[in-house]
């Protein structure tokens, strides 16, 4: 089993822009590998693949992204602030947030179409979908 240690101690580029890992279940070899994954595209509102990259000095085969203004940590935290959450999409075994965001699924309805409120995994339930109540 591969484990990814999530840290921001090694900036993937020379800029000070906010960035985050995306689709950590996959080993990439080029930026285009990462640009095919919905979990990475989610951070860019699915429209700017130039923000998505493969590899850092410490993690050469891991996808990362510069999120757009709607998907920064601050924007996500603000959207979730003060809201209760619940498990959702019980038939889905997820490995990325995107797998929980099906428009037909209960998470999408609970979040009232706001994908920032939907996620995958938590503690002892690493492959279960959850949603903040929109």
pLDDT tens per residue, range 32-41: 999 988 888 8
Provide the residue ranges of all domains of the chain, joining segments of one domain with +.
Answer: 20-71, 79-132
Tokens of 73: 């940590």
pTM score, whole prediction? 0.65
pLDDT band (50, 70, 90) for residue 81: very high
CB burial of residue 77 (10 Å; 0-12, 13-18, 19+): exposed
List the structure tokens of 69: 């203004």
């Amino acid at each position: 089993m591969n484990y990814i240690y999530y840290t921001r101690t090694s900036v993937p580029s020379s800029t000070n822009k906010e960035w985050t890992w995306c689709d950590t279940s996959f080993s990439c070899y080029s930026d285009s590998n990462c640009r095919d994954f919905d979990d990475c595209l989610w951070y860019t509102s699915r429209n700017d693949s130039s923000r998505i990259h493969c590899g850092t000095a410490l993690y050469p085969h891991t996808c990362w992204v510069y999120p757009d203004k709607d998907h920064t940590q601050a924007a996500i935290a603000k959207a979730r602030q003060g809201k209760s959450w619940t498990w959702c999409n019980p038939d889905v075994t997820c490995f990325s947030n995107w797998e929980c965001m099906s428009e037909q699924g209960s998470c999408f309805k609970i979040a009232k179409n706001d994908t920032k409120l939907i996620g995958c995994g938590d503690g002892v339930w690493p492959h279960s979908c959850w949603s903040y109540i929109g």
